[in-house]
């Protein structure tokens, strides 16, 4: 295998391990009873707005049962609420509550301040390039996941 791909694997492994640990800390900062995986769910709801549970499950690449369990926990903590989907009476839309949005915003702002401190020696163009490349990698992953879902349905 090419040395570049070995280096990429090594760096992504370290990065992902640290990101998981950080998400756990961020989740507990939002609410002490929050699971680490829930931070990403709150982030998605804040950024993309209300969504169906099935769309959230597809976005994160998890099963409906896993998503349902996570949403029930968030709802029990008062961080999200459900309302009927006006276009499909059988489904519901999930959104952050005011409480959830407020708690999440405090933690998100603290996390952004951490990024600013960690990357203070970086040029803004380097930060923009890192964001661009990560976006490209995530988009590729989304496209591949979407393709797999379509293939599984046919």
In terms of domains, do 36 and 55 share one?
yes
Q: What is the pTM of this model?
A: 0.76
How far is the C-alpha of 43 from the C-alpha of 49, rounded, in Å?
10
Q: What average pLDDT is seen over the chain? A: 88
In terms of domains, do 65 and 130 share one?
no
Q: Which residue, among 86, 92, 27, 98, has the nearest Cα to 56 in the 3D structure?
A: 92
- pLDDT greater than 70 at residue 100: yes
Average pLDDT over residues 45-50: 95
CATH code at position 66: 1.10.10.10
Q: Tokens 């995986």 label which residue?
A: 37
- For 29, the token pair is 């900062």
Please report whether residue 92 resides in a domain.
Answer: yes
- 3-class secondary structure, 92: strand
Question: Per this entry, what is the length of the chain?
Answer: 154
How far is the C-alpha of 51 from the C-alpha of 60, rounded, in Å?
13
In tens, the pLDDT along 129-141 reads 999 999 999 888 8
Please report whether residue 111 resides in a domain.
Answer: yes
Q: Are 22 and 37 in contact (CB under 8 A)?
A: no
Average pLDDT over residues 34-38: 83
Please report whether residue 77 resides in a domain.
Answer: yes
In terms of domains, do 37 and 98 share one?
yes
In terms of domains, do 72 and 129 share one?
no
Parent domain of 25: 14-118
CA distances from 58 to 61, 62, 66 (A): 5, 6, 11
In terms of domains, do 113 and 132 share one?
no
In terms of domains, do 99 and 131 share one?
no
In terms of domains, do 48 and 88 share one?
yes
Average pLDDT over residues 88-93: 89
Number of domains in the chain: 2
């Amino acid at each position: 295998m090419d040395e570049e791909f070995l280096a990429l694997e090594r760096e992504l492994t370290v990065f992902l391990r640290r990101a998981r640990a950080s998400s756990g800390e961020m989740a507990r900062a939002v609410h002490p009873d929050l699971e680490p995986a829930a931070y990403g769910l709150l982030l998605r709801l804040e950024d993309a707005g209300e969504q169906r549970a099935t769309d959230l499950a597809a976005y994160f690449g998890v099963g409906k049962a896993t998503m349902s369990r996570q949403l029930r926990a968030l709802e029990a903590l008062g961080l999200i609420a459900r309302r009927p989907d006006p276009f499909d009476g059988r489904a519901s839309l999930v959104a952050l509550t005011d409480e959830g949005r407020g708690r999440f915003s405090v933690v998100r702002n603290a996390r952004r301040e951490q990024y600013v401190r960690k990357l203070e020696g970086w040029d803004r163009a380097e930060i923009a390039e890192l964001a661009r490349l990560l976006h490209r990698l995530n988009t590729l992953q989304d496209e591949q996941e979407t393709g797999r879902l379509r293939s599984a349905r046919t």
